[in-house]
Each structure stands twice: as structure tokens, then as C-alpha cells.
């Protein structure tokens, strides 16, 4: 199974209405998720029925071998968080996607950018 691709949803001046205009996807606990990143995207995370750790990978190294720790967001049961934007040279994989992982099977995410 491959990483789930999350659709980047655009917030226009007219706005978005939760449930009507945008959607959440579940982050696969085994494979994780990914989304296209130009540097203006941000993510709304929703934890499920347990404390959750969401990891946003930082794959780059600088000066030969100086790496950054992955970004870890800790959420309590049913907590929510907005995270981002994501600097491409720090967060993007070679495919220009940001990779997100969760330690729980019921973590949901929606990716947005202003349009």
C-alpha cells in the first residue's frame, strides 16, 4: 500500500464551509499520507479516540550531514491543531510532497492553501 495523497483544498475570499466545501482524509497508520507543498499549504489535524503523535518528516540535510529533527505534534484525545506553512527546502521530499505519519489509525487531516 502507498502513502495516501491528500488533496490541497483552496480557501477563496468566499470561504469554505466545513462538511459542505471541504473534506478530511484519514492518515494511514502504516503508510502515512503526503501532500503537494509549494510553501503556502497548512494542515488541520484532528485526533481520534486516543492521544496521538503526528510526525511531519524533515528529510533534508545541510552542510553534508546536519539534519533536522522531524516535527512532532502531540494531540490529546479528540484534540485539533493547525500546522504550517511548510518551508519547501526543509519539509519537501524529492517529489515535492510533505510526508505525514500518525501513531493512531483514526487521525484525520485536511490540507489547505489560500487562493
Residue spans of the domains in the chain: they are: 4-114
Coil, strand or helix at 84? coil
Residue 66 has pLDDT above 90, yes or no: no
- Asked whether 54 and 107 are in contact (CB, 8 A), the reply is yes
Cα separation, 37 vs 86, whole angstroms: 7
Q: Is the pLDDT of residue 106 over 90?
A: yes
Cβ atoms of 113 and 42 within 8 Å: the answer is yes
Q: How far apart are CA 25 and CA 6, in angstroms?
A: 7
Q: What does the block give as the cell for 97? A: 510532497
What is residue 17's predicted lDDT score, i.e. its pLDDT?
A: 62
CATH code of the region 4-114: 2.60.120
Q: What is the model's pLDDT at position 19?
A: 60
pLDDT at res. 67: 86
Assign 88 to helix, strand or coil.
Answer: helix
Amino acid at each position: 500500500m502507498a502513502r495516501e495523497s491528500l488533496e490541497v483544498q483552496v480557501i477563496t475570499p468566499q470561504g469554505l464551509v466545513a462538511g459542505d466545501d471541504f473534506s478530511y482524509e484519514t492518515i494511514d497508520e502504516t503508510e502515512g499520507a503526503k501532500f503537494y507543498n509549494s510553501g503556502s499549504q497548512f494542515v488541520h489535524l484532528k485526533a481520534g479516540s486516543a492521544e496521538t503523535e503526528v510526525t511531519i518528516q524533515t528529510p533534508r540535510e545541510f552542510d553534508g550531514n546536519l539534519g533536522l529533527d522531524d516535527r512532532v505534534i502531540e494531540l490529546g484525545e479528540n484534540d485539533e491543531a493547525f500546522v504550517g506553512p511548510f518551508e519547501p527546502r526543509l519539509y519537501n521530499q524529492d517529489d515535492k510532497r510533505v510526508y505525514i505519519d500518525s501513531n493512531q489509525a483514526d487521525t484525520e487531516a485536511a490540507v489547505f492553501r489560500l487562493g
